[in-house]
Amino acid sequence: MSGRLQNRIALITGASRGIGAAVAKRFATEGAHVVLLARTRGGLEEVDDTIRHAHGPENGATLLELDLANLDQVDMIGPTLMERFGRLDILVGNAGLLGDMSPIHHIDADTWTRVMDVNLNANWRLIRTLDPLLRASDAGRAVFVTSGAAHGKRPYWGTYAVSKAALEMMVTCWAAETEQTDMKINLLDPGATRTGMRAEAYPGEDPDTLKPPEAIADVFVDLAAPDCTRHGEVVRAY
């Protein structure tokens, strides 16, 4: 039986754990070939092993071990995927860093730069290098993970909140520029989810009170599917 993402090529950043890993496994179940990107080779191999065990060794993932803060290397992702696949059907921009939970004037400059590079600048580089490949697809889809921290008053969340607010504006600009194409570009706010970043931000919180990453994988499938009609939206998964 064919899945909703049968034969689609999907790149997922931050795919070694948490939401990225859950989305990768679900996309594979729906028939996609997943290209997994993360800094940690061991984590990527664990996700790949799970996919191969579930769907056969011939259906394993393509692994990209890369730190998104190395922006010049991000530029090479497009040419690499073009040479390998000739197109890209789905981009999931999930990777992110929290940074320091401290007053704005106490944030270390190196920390600020790294968070902005991973949460914002790397996604801009991905858009630049992957836009031609997504246009080459018959139904290019892009989903970027955002956060409620992008809105309202967020004391001590400065670095992360600023990066996500800027990400939302950047992605909605790109969506507005592609309205006359077959592409559908959206943002997804997963809400409170049981992830390592959530535990870092709320160390006293009971993780068992939160939904697991697998609980929101369906929403990613909906936004990545060829029949998706949503465009330029911030979708709330709660």
Q: Which residues are catalytic?
A: 160
Q: Which helix (H) or strand (E) holds 186?
A: strand 184-189
CB 31 within 8 A of CB 5: yes
Report CA Rg, the chain: 17
d(C-alpha 7, C-alpha 211), whole Å: 29
Return the beta strands (E) in 1-134 as ranges: 9-13, 33-38, 62-65, 90-93
